[in-house]
Amino acid sequence: MSEPAPPKKDADEPADEATEQTPVTTGASSVVRALENAGVEAAFGVQGGAIMPVYDALWHSDIHHVTMAHEQGAAHAADAFGVVRNEPGVCLATSGPGATNLVTGIADANMDSDGVLALTGQVPSEMVGSDAFQETDTIGVTTPITKHNYFAAEADSVGDTVGEAFALAGEGRPGPTLVDLPKDVTMDETDRQPGPAKTPKTTTPKTTPDKAAVADAARAIEAAERPLLLLGGGVIKADATDEARAFAREFGIPVVTTMPGIGSFPEDDDLCLSWAGMHGTGYANMAITHTDLLVAVGTRFDDRLTGGVDSFAPEAEVVHVDIDPAEISKNVHADYPVVGDAATTLDRLADEVATEPDAGEWREQCLTWKDEYPMDYATPEDEPLKPQFVVECLDEATSDRAVVTSGVGQHQMWAAQYWTFTEPRTWVSSHGLGTMGYGLPAAIGARLAAEDDQEVVCVDGDGSFLMTIQELSVAVREELDITVAVLNNEYIGMVRQWQDAFFEGRHMAAEYNWCPEFDKLAEAFGARGWRVDDYDEVADAIEEALAYDGPSVIDFHIDPRENVYPMVASGGANGKFALTEDQL
């Protein structure tokens, strides 16, 4: 029999011991040491054969490891942790199915330019290629969905590799990186300390914009009559929200955001028209349709934003500021391309613009559109609960800095439309990949990353919640104060909306009236649960759930016929958004 295992360090131990770093004796301890050197506080993962040496090395580390119920949850939790902290999040999984289960979360991070470091176990080097137990070509599988991935070759250098992968994930335009760790590499002895983390020489981004490019863009801004600032997720990742706000206000330029850009500009500001695109506000889509100069910062002009490119901002010259040169003129031609960091470039641009554009009439026009296309909705009391009302009540009951996560579908759109966001890194969602099930694990990651006075609310749908509901067990075990608000319409609602609009109402595989009762299921997990059917129960349930210091679930049974509007048909013109179904 082996000796009894030493006790896992916990909070009772003296602080000075708790701050010691992991001594490097093996490849695995070098991996953990590299994470500690990078300042990693939390990691999310699931144990398994090939990653066991790394987990063993975590035994003595201060890194808070959160065991998730499924590796997909680990990747999403790491992603959301990183979004809220604005640094790469870390997830771990074993080889084979552990690694393939991470794939959805890695692809999600890749589409949203979220920094994530994934560490995967791998079968021992000598068995690679033999179709060994739990072997998958993780490098091959993840190459198209990572910034870069590394196959660790030896124990001596594996710490440096992990340090580089972490640094690369956060450098320039962030994104996911992965290190595949063969078990012999992590088991082998080494006493080599990982050096300071360095990013590769070949990836250094250009952060300072060309002077001439900035000057050209400034002349265009001075001359514009209908200028519009389009702020994307890159503004938040570059920590450029102060610069963006100052720029818009100094020159009186109205602002729209993309969905990932939500929070870059306060939505309650007169200049702000909220977000544009398929389900963006009518006024944002009118502005983007009629602007004569679109100043786009940190956006990749996703098709959900542009609609059909042929009719996108058809009157506008485009200034495109991005740190990734490959995004310039990829989807929409940039008349004024500016490669650089968003904060630096907006600063330089503010210095260079000599006179405020003469845009008084245009600002008036934008305000008129706000009146013409209000987001008001009917709340007939003899009809089922409206989801928009639930979102507004949640917003009202929480602080400005509350973090909102979501799944994907109708509930996500209502959350984005009816919550008034004012701060960056408070809207945490799956945009580019559109991953149902993102919301709950993201709330877990966000809870661990956010400050104590920030509420964490997951606005979820019945279909999305069911996809990763097992992570509720993690929230219970970790005693995480999160509130899940399920907007339950017993449909995979966005599909049902499209079936009504484009498939003559045939609800093939879209009815979800077979879902479990989420309030009772929450109680079974050890969380608190509420069910709400009527308007007069909404406020109380929200108050009780927010007051409960632990995971809570409110199952809001909403109007199953409610759809998301405005809506721009796929590939259609933003200016032709439908306000009701008959307009599609």
Partner 1 sequence: MSSDDSNETTDLPKHGLAGPRPEERPHPEGRRNSQGIRIDPEVEAEHDPRRAVISALVENEPGVLSRVAGLVSRRQFNIESLTVGPTTVDGHARITMVVEEPDPGIDQIEKQMAKLKPVISVGELDDDAVRAELVLLKVEGDEPDKVHAITEMYEGKTLDAGPRTITVQLTGDERKIDDAIDAFRQFGIIEIARTGQTALARGDQATVPGEKPGTAGEPTTPTNYDD
- The reply to whether 454 belongs to the active site is no
Tell me: does residue 44 bind partner 1 (CB under 8 A).
no
Query: Minimum distance between the CB of residue 50 and partner 1, rounded to whole angstroms?
Result: 20
Between the alpha carbon of residue 387 and those of residues 315, 410, 468, 568, 584, the distances in Å are 36, 9, 22, 20, 22
Residue in 71, 171, 392, 562 annotated catalytic: 71
Binding residues with partner 1: total (CB under 8 A): 65
Gap between the Cα atoms of 174 and 171, Å rounded: 6
Tell me: does residue 570 bind partner 1 (CB under 8 A).
no
Query: Minimum distance between the CB of residue 63 and partner 1, rounded to whole angstroms?
Result: 26
Sole window of 3-11, 155-163, 282-290, 475-483 interacting with partner 1 (rule: CB under 8 A): 282-290
Q: Which of 23, 124, 151, 252 binds partner 1 (CB under 8 A)?
A: 151
Cβ distance to partner 1 smaller for residue 70 or 370: 370
Residue in 68, 278, 467, 494 annotated catalytic: 494
- Cα-Cα end-to-end distance for the chain: 72
Cβ distance to partner 1 smaller for residue 106 or 521: 106
> Which residues share a beta bridge with 89?
116
**b/e map of 313-328 (b: 16 or more CB within 10 Å)?**
beebbbbbbbbbeebb
Q: Which of 76, 85, 148, 348 binds partner 1 (CB under 8 A)?
A: 148
Burial class (CB in 10 A: 0-12, 13-18, 19+), 162: buried
Site for partner 1 in 304-323 (CB under 8 A): 309-312, 314-317
Tell me: does residue 176 bind partner 1 (CB under 8 A).
no
Cβ distance to partner 1 smaller for residue 116 or 472: 116
- The reply to whether 523 belongs to the active site is no
Query: Minimum distance between the CB of residue 372 and partner 1, rounded to whole angstroms?
Result: 6
Sole window of 101-109, 155-163, 196-204, 217-225 interacting with partner 1 (rule: CB under 8 A): 196-204
Tell me: does residue 372 bind partner 1 (CB under 8 A).
yes
Q: Which of 168, 235, 436, 457 binds partner 1 (CB under 8 A)?
A: 168
Q: Which of 33, 245, 279, 290 binds partner 1 (CB under 8 A)?
A: 290
Cβ distance to partner 1 smaller for residue 29 or 489: 489
Q: Where are the alpha helices (DSSP H) in 280-359?
A: 282-290, 303-306, 342-352
Q: Which of 58, 103, 139, 305 binds partner 1 (CB under 8 A)?
A: 139
Query: Minimum distance between the CB of residue 243 and partner 1, rounded to whole angstroms?
Result: 25
Tell me: does residue 498 bind partner 1 (CB under 8 A).
no
How crowded is residue 580: how many other Cβ atoms within 10 Å of its Cβ? 10
CA pseudo-torsion sign 384, 390, 392, 393:
positive
Tell me: does residue 421 bind partner 1 (CB under 8 A).
no
- The reply to whether 134 belongs to the active site is yes
Tell me: does residue 144 bind partner 1 (CB under 8 A).
yes
Cβ distance to partner 1 smaller for residue 251 or 283: 283
Strand order, beta sheet including 482-488: 427-428, 403-406, 456-461, 482-488, 552-557, 528-532
Stretch 231-270: interaction string toward partner 1, x if CB under 8 A:
----------------------------------------
Q: Residue 90: which H helix or E strand, with range?
A: strand 89-93
Cβ distance to partner 1 smaller for residue 324 or 523: 324
How crowded is residue 5: how many other Cβ atoms within 10 Å of its Cβ? 7
Is 465:518 a contact under the CB 8 Å cutoff? Answer: yes
Gap between the Cα atoms of 178 and 245, Å rounded: 35
Is 171:205 a contact under the CB 8 Å cutoff? Answer: yes
The position carrying tokens 């305000």 is 367
- The reply to whether 133 belongs to the active site is yes
Question: 371: which 2 tokens?
Answer: 């009146």
Residue in 44, 72, 171, 183 annotated catalytic: 183
Sole window of 123-131, 421-429, 448-456, 559-567 interacting with partner 1 (rule: CB under 8 A): 559-567
124 CB-near residues (< 8 Å, 6+ apart): 182, 183, 184
Tell me: does residue 422 bind partner 1 (CB under 8 A).
no
Sole window of 35-43, 90-98, 143-151, 259-267 interacting with partner 1 (rule: CB under 8 A): 143-151
Stretch 335-354: interaction string toward partner 1, x if CB under 8 A:
--------------------
Gap between the Cα atoms of 457 and 454, Å rounded: 10
- The reply to whether 8 belongs to the active site is no
396 CB-near residues (< 8 Å, 6+ apart): none
Sole window of 69-77, 232-240, 286-294, 460-468 interacting with partner 1 (rule: CB under 8 A): 286-294
Tell me: does residue 548 bind partner 1 (CB under 8 A).
no
Question: 26: which 2 tokens?
Answer: 């093996």
Is 196:38 a contact under the CB 8 Å cutoff? Answer: no
Burial class (CB in 10 A: 0-12, 13-18, 19+), 79: buried
Is 503:511 a contact under the CB 8 Å cutoff? Answer: no
Tell me: does residue 377 bind partner 1 (CB under 8 A).
yes
Q: Residue 176: which H helix or E strand, with range?
A: strand 176-182
Cβ distance to partner 1 smaller for residue 7 or 144: 144
Closest CA to 137 of 150, 122, 148, 125: 122
Q: Which of 132, 375, 433, 515 binds partner 1 (CB under 8 A)?
A: 375
Q: Where are the alpha helices (DSSP H) in 319-461?
A: 342-352, 360-372, 387-397, 410-418, 439-449
Using CB under 8 A, list all residues that contact partner 1: 139-140, 143-144, 147-148, 151, 168, 200-203, 282, 286, 289-290, 301, 309-312, 314-317, 324-326, 328-333, 372-381, 383, 386, 388-389, 392, 418, 535, 561-563, 565-566, 573, 575-581, 583
Annotated catalytic sites, by residue?
71, 133-134, 183, 494
